[in-house]
Amino acid sequence: TRKLSKIPDEVRGEISGYFVDSPPIVEEDDQKLPKLDERTADYIRHGLTPRWSDLDLNQHVNNVKYIGWILESAPTSILEDHELAAMTLEYRRECKRDSVVQSLTSVLDKDGGGEIECRHLLRLDGGGEIVKGRTGWRRK
């Protein structure tokens, strides 16, 4: 079961120097994430599986691993020549220890001037959606 617990004051005092005082930069993104499948994806990576170090105490894959899997199906040319500028993720379900995952990516050249948008989907081999997402890239 999941239960929130309060951080003891003693621990909070020890780690308070590492807290960031400013909120994260969040822009409202009300664009709907479109459907993505084998027909509309430009790149597909099959057979992704979690490692022991990717799991939390409940045997669910950590959200940070999802970002790594999303980048697994992004084209190398984008990863080499661009930097990640924006990311929107919509979590649909949890991924567990024995899951086998597919990562799908479609690429849209936004303006021909170096800005690229990618749409992503992580799904279980059985078809269930784990994460839908969108990334924005700008030329380095």
* C-alpha angle 78-70-75 in degrees, rounded to nearest 5: 25
Please say if 118 is a catalytic residue: no
Cα gap 24→59, rounded to integer Å: 28
**Residue range 109-124, pLDDT digits in tens:** 766 667 899 999 999 9
Residues facing residue 105 across a β-bridge = 43, 120
Integer angstrom CA distances of residue 16 from 4, 6, 20, 102: 19, 14, 9, 39
Per the residue annotation, which of 62, 63, 82, 95 is the catalytic one?
95
pLDDT for 1 beyond 70: no
Please report the pLDDT score of residue 110 as a whole number.
62
Q: CATH assignment of 35-139, given 3.40.190.10, 3.40.720.10, 3.20.20.70, 3.10.129.10?
A: 3.10.129.10
Q: What is the reported pTM?
A: 0.76
Please report the pLDDT score of residue 42 as a whole number.
93
Name the 3-class secondary structure at 118.
Answer: strand
Tokens of 105: 């990516």
Neighbour tally for 104: CB within 10 Å: 22
- Work out the pLDDT band at 25, boundaries 50, 70, 90: low
Please say if 58 is a catalytic residue: yes
Mean pLDDT value across residues 13-20 = 75
pLDDT for 137 beyond 70: yes
**Residue range 44-103, pLDDT digits in tens:** 999 999 999 999 888 999 988 999 999 989 999 899 999 998 898 999 999 999 999 999
Per the residue annotation, which of 58, 62, 82, 120 is the catalytic one?
58
| Per-domain boundaries in the chain | 35-139
Please say if 60 is a catalytic residue: yes
